[in-house]
Amino acid sequence: MPMPACAASPRAPRPRPGRSLRAGAFPDHHESFLMATLVLTAVGTAIGGPLGGALGSLVGSRIDGALFAPADREGSRLRELAVTTSSYGSPVPRHFGTMRASGTIIWATDLVESSEETGGGKGRGSTTTYSYSISFAVALASRPIRAVRRIWADGNLLRGTAGDLKVAGTLRVYEGRRDQPVDPLIASAEGISCPAFRGLAYCVFEDLQLAEFGNRIPALTFEIVADDGDVSLAQMIAPAAPVAAVHRDLTALIGYSDEGGPVLGLLSSVDRLYPIACDAGGETLAISDGAPEGGPVAALPPPVVDTTGDAFGRTQGRSIQLRADSRSVPEGLRYYDIARDYQPGLQRAGGRARSGGQRLIEFPGALRASDAQRLADDAAQRADTAQERLSWRIAELDPALTPGAIVAVPDRPGRWRIEGWGWRETGVELDLRRLPWHRAKARAVDAGQALAPPDLVATPTLLQAYELP
């Protein structure tokens, strides 16, 4: 058991800075403390010899202890018993895959104060120490999860990989199922109005000792296992599932946290590392890979001339736009590194830093260092080649030439993706964007050192009895 943080111990007087400690500066009870012992020892020896002297010394020490013993001391007490609460209106995020995230306190009791008296007797004063505990509930995710693994408190491990709490207390985890029961502790405090928080994943700490955290609720982060395996884009856009068909894998993405907002914002965040092509021309929204492997699926026909002079290209039927702007190319990727206990990591495109201002991609996902390096290189290549845009006019609609399709352009090398289209009287106008020539290759990357807190498991105490001769 950890020692209480607010224990008090007697201290000897110390000199103040700049002053000397001289004799008689502090009262000394040593002579008074021995007075009765010396007198009764002498009287007992004169009357009863050595045995009488021993009895006189024992009686005298009892009298001195009762008259001159120091008073009992008490350690510092926590005067302010209020705890920090969460603010109303804070969104509870959705987690996918395996992620480390903080929670939101949704219920808490008052601090419980306990006292323990140690020492005392034989002329010595006792010491009273105070410790505090609290029970509270923390919301983890607004969708069901699989489990909670490690828990960090103020950066140190509160719960290890073996599921053991490093301080005294009890932990209960509710996965956010639709049929999860009411927590008995919360029910005992709130009565019949206690909610079960169904659909909300949360955990309850009961009688958590706070001595290790300065007698306050520490800053908690949780390793949350929301899904088995990698993150699925279909699960991420589940609110729009009836009107969307997803054909896009998020390879190597271990975890992702969605703080809320429209689905379009979520897709835009994912598109920065995993290109997405959306086609709304059918009955449902089709989501596919915006930069798939392999060659083009179709070839564009020759451009159609527009003699009205009211559109691009005029007699050529095409228009190209080149903008070589290095400022639009991301120089690195910030992410959560798996090897460093989900601490923020940084991988630079090309593996080196550039001079001047840095434009980094902030991605709230958990990745390995090698995968993050490859994704950063891919993002830089896409941003560089995507500055080349092409407008192309065709005579009639082709089912194979829909938004998101990868095509080849006559007299133009490489692959192009159809970003959008528009129908006019003079033909169908396509908006195309150039794709990179190839994808980046994975390479060995050092994630850096992580000062992980030790995960020490307390071994059980075994009692064995032996019969000795």
State the 10-residue block means of pLDDT for the chain, 469 residues long.
36 34 35 49 60 61 56 45 55 92 90 82 78 93 95 92 92 95 95 92 96 89 91 86 82 91 87 87 83 82 80 76 76 91 89 71 92 92 88 85 87 87 84 84 75 82 89
Structure tokens at 287: 């989501």
Looking at 181, 206, 225, the residue that finishes a domain is 225
Which among 112, 334, 85, 105 is positioned nearest to 222, based on CA atoms?
105
φ and ψ at 208, to 5 degrees?
-75, 125
Question: In terms of domains, do 102 and 184 share one?
Answer: yes
Single-letter amino acid code for the residue at 322: L
Query: Residue 323 and residue 307: Cα distance in Å, rounded?
Result: 28
Question: In terms of domains, do 34 and 106 share one?
Answer: no
Looking at 207, 225, 243, the residue that finishes a domain is 225
Question: In terms of domains, do 196 and 108 share one?
Answer: yes
Question: In terms of domains, do 190 and 259 share one?
Answer: no
**Per-residue confidence (pLDDT) for residue 19, from 0 to 100:** 32
Query: Residue 318 and residue 427: Cα distance in Å, rounded?
Result: 12
Question: In terms of domains, do 211 and 104 share one?
Answer: yes
Query: Residue 260 and residue 257: Cα distance in Å, rounded?
Result: 9
Helix/strand/coil for 302: coil
Residue 238 lies in a domain: yes
Question: In terms of domains, do 109 and 162 share one?
Answer: yes
Structure tokens at 47: 């009357």
Question: In terms of domains, do 132 and 61 share one?
Answer: no
Q: For 280-340, list the strands marked E by DSSP.
A: 285-289, 298-299, 318-321, 332-337
Contact between residue 435 and residue 417 where contact means Cβ atoms under 8 Å apart: yes
Residue 172 lies in a domain: yes
Residue 428 lies in a domain: no
Residue 378 lies in a domain: no
Residue 162 lies in a domain: yes
φ and ψ at 219, to 5 degrees?
-80, 115
Query: Residue 407 and residue 298: Cα distance in Å, rounded?
Result: 5
Helix/strand/coil for 51: helix
Which among 461, 459, 396 is positioned nearest to 430, based on CA atoms?
396
**Per-residue confidence (pLDDT) for residue 77, from 0 to 100:** 44
Residue 258 lies in a domain: yes
**Per-residue confidence (pLDDT) for residue 59, from 0 to 100:** 58
Residue 143 lies in a domain: yes
Cα-Cα end-to-end distance for the chain: 36
Domain that holds residue 56: 30-68
Question: In terms of domains, do 105 and 214 share one?
Answer: yes
Query: Residue 287 and residue 210: Cα distance in Å, rounded?
Result: 49
Question: In terms of domains, do 182 and 257 share one?
Answer: no
Residue 376 lies in a domain: no
Q: How far apart, in Å, are the Cα atoms of 304 and each of 264, 390, 441? A: 34, 14, 39
Give the chain's domain count: 3
Question: In terms of domains, do 151 and 116 share one?
Answer: yes
Looking at 172, 202, 225, the residue that finishes a domain is 225
Question: In terms of domains, do 151 and 267 share one?
Answer: no
Question: In terms of domains, do 198 and 144 share one?
Answer: yes
**Per-residue confidence (pLDDT) for residue 79, from 0 to 100:** 42
Query: Residue 311 and residue 422: Cα distance in Å, rounded?
Result: 12
